Homo-oligomer: A and B are copies of this chain.
Amino acid sequence: MARWEPDARGRLLHAALDLFAEQGYDATTAAQIAERAGLTKTTLFRQFADKREILFQGQAASVATADAAVRGAPPQAHPLEALRIGLDALAKDHVAEQREIGRRAEAITATSPELQERAAFKRSAISSALAAALAERVEDGVAGVLADIGTRAYYSGFAEWARADGGDLVALVRRHLDDLLRDLRPVLDG
């Protein structure tokens, strides 16, 4: 038996999702979110570093996931293959329940520059992690570009997964990556 209602973070997330949708992000105070979750402002800020972070929890783990997977790829693997392995690991982290959350969070993010800034930061963190891990296999600049391409495939794959009925996120991201590479080659050579 728990002494308090369990899953404080989850309750805060859903309270925030509801309130942001009802009133808008700016008009919602941290105290309101905490109250709806049956907690206080103090506890909210013990769970999350700041108000924005409520919507982006979990993405911190993505950085470690991507880094570990790419570094764990076979040493002789082609850089693109190492990238694929990293993206696979990222995609595997998502379960079906996150589709709905992702959709709602994305809609709210679109209404607030403050949240878009945090989203850009998270994205750049993922790209930087991929780039650093890939830099063990290719020159820095190339590693950066490969990371950019992979991050783009990951995000557009995720967007399609969240939008449509989903299916296999891993396969979707792989397809987005391959499409990107296929379309890119003729332009770079032209």
Contacts and interface: CB of A to CB of B under 8 A. Distances in A.
Interface of A: 78-80, 116-118, 120-121, 123-124, 138-139, 141-142, 144-146, 148-149, 152, 156, 176, 179-181, 183-185, 187-190
Given A118-B117, A123-B124, A142 B184 contact: yes
Contacts of A138: 183, 187
A173 to B, nearest CB: 13
Given A121-B121, A145-B149, 18 more contacts: A78-B190, A79-B190, A80-B187, A80-B188, A117-B120, A120-B121, A123-B124, A124-B124, A138-B187, A139-B183, A141-B183, A142-B187, A145-B148, A145-B180, A145-B184, A148-B152, A181-B188, A188-B188
Nearest to A120: B124
A interface SS class? helix
B149 A183 contact: no
Contacts of A181: 188
Given A121-B117, A121-B120, A146 B80 contact: no
21 contacts: A78-B190, A117-B120, A120-B121, A121-B121, A138-B183, A138-B187, A139-B183, A141-B152, A141-B179, A141-B180, A141-B183, A142-B180, A144-B152, A145-B148, A145-B152, A145-B180, A145-B184, A146-B187, A148-B148, A148-B149, A185-B189
Contacts of A78: 190
Tell which of A80, A180, A187 has the most Cβ of chain B within 10 Å.
A187
Contacts of A139: 183
